[in-house]
Amino acid sequence: MTHARQQRHIQVVAHRGASEAAPEHTLAAYRKAIEDGADALECDVRLTADGHLVCVHDRRVNRTSNGRGAVSALELADLAALDFGSVRTRAAWRGRDEEPDWEVRPEDPEDTSVLTLERLLELVSDAGRRVELAIETKHPTRWAGQVEERLLALLKRFGLDAPESPEESPVRVMSFSARSLHRVRAASPALPTVYLMQFVSPRLRDGRLPAGVRIAGPSMRIVRGHPAYVERLKNAGHQVHVWTVNDPEDVDLCARLGVDAIITNRPLAVLRQLGR
């Protein structure tokens, strides 16, 4: 394994929790990430049919649970009856028989039941140290603002919706949708927002981001293919948070380029590689 001794602090963010060690988006995965020393936790949020924000990546629950159906068509009680500890690998999802071999084997049913954002916020509040949360809004256009509205209402209950400054905020909101981020900033101007990118649109190639966004979230594929783009973003005054960085060589490249955050399924391995 390569050893990238960092010159400066790079935040290590657990993608869907420590999702290589435990089923993604479960309490088990987030507890493991906190134990591992992750600086922050990443989660995707979707609205249930009865208006609860739950941490589920896919539109449907088919891959990550023993149930079927779209999150938006199911109520929280329906989701609570499912087991999210039976998440299948991509190969199994495509019909090949491959079972994941989790390092963490949860025994408490709560550890693998559907995770509400509220429960995750409680976990972070009780962590005993600062653990940041990077919350990604999924399919915000479908719900025309309801995801952001519910999100901000929930953050308000935890006293997290109106930080004194973006730098102080332990929570940030990420999205591939500039419109979703705009809605968040309009309601809560000091909450930091991260514009996620799977590709760089021509109008943003010079390092600009949608108005008001301070943090860029390029994929590792973008960074590998166009390392100079990171410099451009930094020169434009933006932070750079890269996803999903699991390969040691990619961690090294991110460290050399001076990114601000590495979003990874393997927080412990990345922390070790960074000498922490």
Near Ca ion in 88-147, by CB under 5 A: 136
Q: Is 25 a catalytic residue?
A: no
**Out of 20, 24, 36, 42, which residue is the one contacting ligand G3P (CB under 6 A)?**
42
137 to 40, 148, 166, 201: CA distances (angstroms): 17, 8, 18, 20
Q: Give the Cα separation of 191 and 188 in Å (integer).
A: 6
Site string for ligand G3P, 62-101 (x = CB under 6 A): ----------------------------------------
CB-nearest residue to ligand G3P: 243
Residue 44 lies near Ca ion (rule: CB under 5 A): yes
250 binds, among ligand G3P, Ca ion, none (CB under 5 to 8 A by kind): none
**In Å, how far from its chain's centre is CA 114?**
16
User: CB-wise, 44 or 111, nearer to Ca ion?
Assistant: 44
**In Å, how far from its chain's centre is CA 61?**
18
Residue 160 lies near ligand G3P (rule: CB under 6 A): no
132 binds, among ligand G3P, Ca ion, none (CB under 5 to 8 A by kind): none
Q: Is 179 helix (H, G, I), strand (E, B) or coil?
A: helix
Q: Give the Cα separation of 115 and 8 in Å (integer).
A: 34
Residues 6+ apart with CB under 8 A from 130: 170
Q: Is 15 a catalytic residue?
A: yes
Cβ–Cβ < 8 Å for 68, 44 = no
Tokens of 173: 């909101």
Determine which one of 57, 139, 238, 241 is catalytic: 57
Q: Which residues bind ligand G3P (CB under 6 A)?
A: 15, 42, 44, 57, 136, 196, 217, 243, 263
